[in-house]
Structure 1
Amino acid sequence: MSRARGQALIAALLLVTVLAAGALLANGDLRAHAEALAHARSLEALAQARSALIGYAISYEERHPGEGYGFLPCPDSGNDGSTPIGACGARGVAAIGRLPWRTLGLPDLRDGWGECLWYAVAGSAKHNPKPLTLNWDSPGQFELLTASADRLPVAAPDGRAIAVVFAPGRALDGQVRPPGRPFGCSGSDSAPADLAQYLDESYPPGATGPVQITQAALRPGEESAANDLTAWLGTDDVFDALRQRHDHAAYVDALIDRAAAALSARLNSGGEDWLAIHAARTGSLAIGMLPAAEALGIPAGERMQIDLWRDQMRFAACPDGDTCITVSRNDPPLVEHCRAALAFGGERQRSGPARQDRVTPAQRAELTQFFEGINATNLITGEPAFAGTARFATPDRDQPATADVIRCLP
């Protein structure tokens, strides 16, 4: 859904540019016509790059087993079209360089002026070093603005993009670009050294906070102090695309299964001492966030996938180990009796009176932003009763899967 909106925005810009080119040609303005066509070629290249980034993110686990989905490549820093070996900065910081077109399986994309594309990725989504958490609530880092400083729409929980692709356009006054090489992009083998010669702004290479990026106005034939064209993607673009995979629901459900099995084993072996460390007594229950995979005793090679999603999970346990918790099911109607329950919040509700926001630390501390009905209430009060589906499912792949999943640990 959000992927379609992003493609529609680029298509709309492309249509405006082509129509403008036709009007300019009719008026005999050949220079402006040529610029309009260059804009159109840039937008086509940007659309290709954006689509490839989404494809990379939603197939990451297939290329890197055990690491999960949603990661984006580090930029090309050496002007060879590939993501470099090793890290691109510290954990949590943004990285910027050229688009790694070889890594993405793309041809050598160029904008309408023959320049290679540039690319920035947020610290919350880059593949090396990986963030500690990556799921449908992960924040973005890039604020997209129009030339008049209005915010552009980004499909993300916080309205910020996790990746931006740049078509740098022709050199502006003060920019000196090395001549083109026989093969590959112009410029040196150092993206940081070349950055100011290609992009309009001096973007920080290791930003930890929000970064503002301005989209140039599409006015062919008119001189401008900025000419970068951009395409971007937000967290929702990636996870809405993942939801379209036929195996996505089973993948998430298997994560919940592994977490539930590990939690059950820890409750068996650790007893009240382990519970006292990882949960707080609330009402008649001990309640806490799912502990880190290491604390659950999960083998090292299997921890990453669980940790990426554990902020979506809370558990409640009967302190004395009896089966004091009831879990109600609707399909078919039944009641299970459990000594502990693992609750998985599902995707946030994005609109309406029940809208959920999980952006700020204060919002993420509110259980009502993750769970609905008696689940939110009783996780707050400690009442030993919950209700929800036993399995994660995506009944409508075009809509967020918001239903609470409740696993009963007998």
Structure 2
Amino acid sequence: MRTGIAEMKPRTERNPAPRTASATPATGRSGIGGQALIAALVLLGVLAAGAMLANGDLRARAEAVAHARSLEALAQARAALIGYAISYEEGHAGEGYGFLPCPDSGNDGSTPIGACGARGLAAIGRLPWRTLGLPDLRDGWGECLWYAVAGSVKHNPKPLTLNWDSSGQFEPFTTAGDRLPVAAPDSRAVAVLFAPGPALDGQIRPPGRAFGCSGSDSAQADLAQYLDTSFPSASTGPIAVMHGAPQPGAESTANDLVAWIGIDELFDALRQRHDFADYVDGLVGLAAAALRASLDGGYADWLARHATLTGELATGMLPSAEALGLAADARGPIDLWRDQMRFAACRGGEACIAVERDDPARVEHCRAVLMMGGERLRTGSQRQQRTTPAERADPAQYFEGINALHLATGVPAFAGAARFTAPDRDRPATADVIRCLP
């Protein structure tokens, strides 16, 4: 299936994802999680046909085969989307990782030129298979796949922040109303794929064309004829999506098969890259250098504008890259990650802060520190949540031990690693990073 079609260049995307990237999510926990999701969907889609299959019902057999083909197409598209996200920087230098493409709005298999709605709004259309370097994927009934992307990760216009705590928008449910699990702190997906299946009563689909998907050149106009879920035209809030199930021997009222991606799955896959830890550490280093230069340019005045006096320290969230004086072409990635960083500085500019490293005998003395909490703790009694404004304002949701307490109370003593690392690529890198600014 890949011969010829898979090698076609995208019509509108200047820098498509590298072909090799779509294979990456098959490794590590992200691949395992993706396989488990598809396996769960197979059970949801096929078990209902089990009794009919046992009796040799030909219709049930045909539906089971079609569902299996649909799930295979969904799995292939899902892997390609994750591959696109974790290789985005290679095709779009200086823009960062984690972005997903806008949907195909014009029925040509490509992400459109320009924006897909305003910043922060979800977008829906057909799967941009050309942009993803895929063949013209079809479900088991010969229909093209559809795709929705959250405003928090879409590539145009880009969100103001994008990192391992970015929110999702899509809430998948079964037809019975049961919530389906999503690997994300807010239990919402950042992307959803749809295999629309056969037309339901009331859906009128044009005949297939010689090339490309059936339907018109407007995904928005065709939406109701292919998908069961009603999508708001412009939404920054949660959107429910329904995973349909086969109903052998009866007409179904919802038959879309869906697969989805949570933000944890994107960053679990990114962590598999051998260079990802160095990339994040490089951002911390760039931010630390810019913070030091800002303090050198007028210590007291800068802290008066950007810090809050707490105990013996002046503390705050890392300001925007523009406020740090970074050049325009270097601002993007810093701003995507700055919500993960906090600073603390001695009020008078002396080196009053003690930073303990792995060796208790090794203590650094600093006039200021830049702190990054790493990935959140996902399980256990100290599980961290960073979804609401109140949670994001709480140092304990980012830092552990004395770091959270001392940042909140202004005590000039911290402990942590000097550099961001991911020693186990299959587990979140949660260790606090403390950069000392002498």
| Equivalent in the alignment of 1:143 | 171
| Equivalent in the alignment of 2:130 | 102
| Equivalent in the alignment of 1:335 | 363
Structure 1 residue 357 displacement after superposition: 0.6
| Equivalent in the alignment of 2:63 | 35
Quickly say closer, same or farther: Cα 1:209–1:301, change in 2 above 3 A: same
Once superposed, what is the RMSD of the aligned Cα atoms? 1.5
TM-score by length of 1: 0.97
Alignment of 1:25-104 (within 5 A): 25-104=53-132
Kept after mapping to 1: 8 A contact 2:46/2:246: no
> 268-277 or 63-72, which moves further after superposition?
268-277
Give the Cα–Cα distance (whole angstroms) in 2 for the partners of residues 13 and 66 of structure 1.
37
1:374 pairs with 2:406: no
1:93 aligned counterpart, secondary structure? strand
Give the Cα–Cα distance (whole angstroms) in 2 for the partners of residues 26 and 324 of structure 1.
75
Code of the aligned partner of 1:145: F
Alignment of 1:214-363 (within 5 A): 214-331=242-359, 333-363=361-391
1:189 aligned counterpart, secondary structure? coil
Give the Cα–Cα distance (whole angstroms) in 2 for the partners of residues 7 and 221 of structure 1.
29
Structure 2 runs not aligned, ≥5 long = 1-28
Give the Cα–Cα distance (whole angstroms) in 2 for the partners of residues 403 and 298 of structure 1.
27
Code of the aligned partner of 1:151: R
| Equivalent in the alignment of 2:221 | 193
Give the Cα–Cα distance (whole angstroms) in 2 for the partners of residues 210 and 361 of structure 1.
17
Question: Which of 421, 424, 434 does residue 393 from structure 1 map onto?
Answer: 421
Give the Cα–Cα distance (whole angstroms) in 2 for the partners of residues 72 and 333 of structure 1.
46
Taking only the aligned residue pairs, the percentage that are identical comes to 75
Structure 1 residue 141 displacement after superposition: 0.3
Question: Which of 125, 143, 146 does residue 115 from structure 1 map onto?
Answer: 143
Structure 1 residue 254 displacement after superposition: 0.3
Give the Cα–Cα distance (whole angstroms) in 2 for the partners of residues 392 and 73 of structure 1.
28
Measured against aligned partners, the alpha-carbon deviations of 1:266-318 in whole angstroms (never above 9, x if no partner) come to: 00002211110000111111101001000001110010100000000000111
| Equivalent in the alignment of 2:10 | none
Structure 1 runs not aligned, ≥5 long = none
Question: Which of 163, 172, 185 does residue 200 from structure 2 map onto?
Answer: 172
Kept after mapping to 1: 8 A contact 2:48/2:246: no
Structure 1 residue 219 displacement after superposition: 3.8
Structure 1 residue 85 displacement after superposition: 0.5
Structure 1 residue 62 displacement after superposition: 0.4
Give the Cα–Cα distance (whole angstroms) in 2 for the partners of residues 252 and 320 of structure 1.
31
| Equivalent in the alignment of 2:190 | 162
Kept after mapping to 1: 8 A contact 2:49/2:247: no
2:396 aligned counterpart, secondary structure? helix
Give the Cα–Cα distance (whole angstroms) in 2 for the partners of residues 16 and 143 of structure 1.
17
Quickly say closer, same or farther: Cα 1:292–1:393, change in 2 above 3 A: same
Quickly say closer, same or farther: Cα 1:305–1:25, change in 2 above 3 A: same
Give the Cα–Cα distance (whole angstroms) in 1 for the partners of residues 161 and 382 of structure 2.
25
Kept after mapping to 1: 8 A contact 2:246/2:252: no
Structure 1 residue 331 displacement after superposition: 4.4
TM-score by length of 2: 0.91
Give the Cα–Cα distance (whole angstroms) in 2 for the partners of residues 149 and 60 of structure 1.
35
Structure 1 residue 25 displacement after superposition: 4.6
Give the Cα–Cα distance (whole angstroms) in 2 for the partners of residues 235 and 221 of structure 1.
38
Kept after mapping to 2: 8 A contact 1:22/1:33: no
Structure 1 residue 27 displacement after superposition: 1.9
| Equivalent in the alignment of 2:25 | none
Give the Cα–Cα distance (whole angstroms) in 2 for the partners of residues 217 and 362 of structure 1.
39
2:364 aligned counterpart, secondary structure? strand
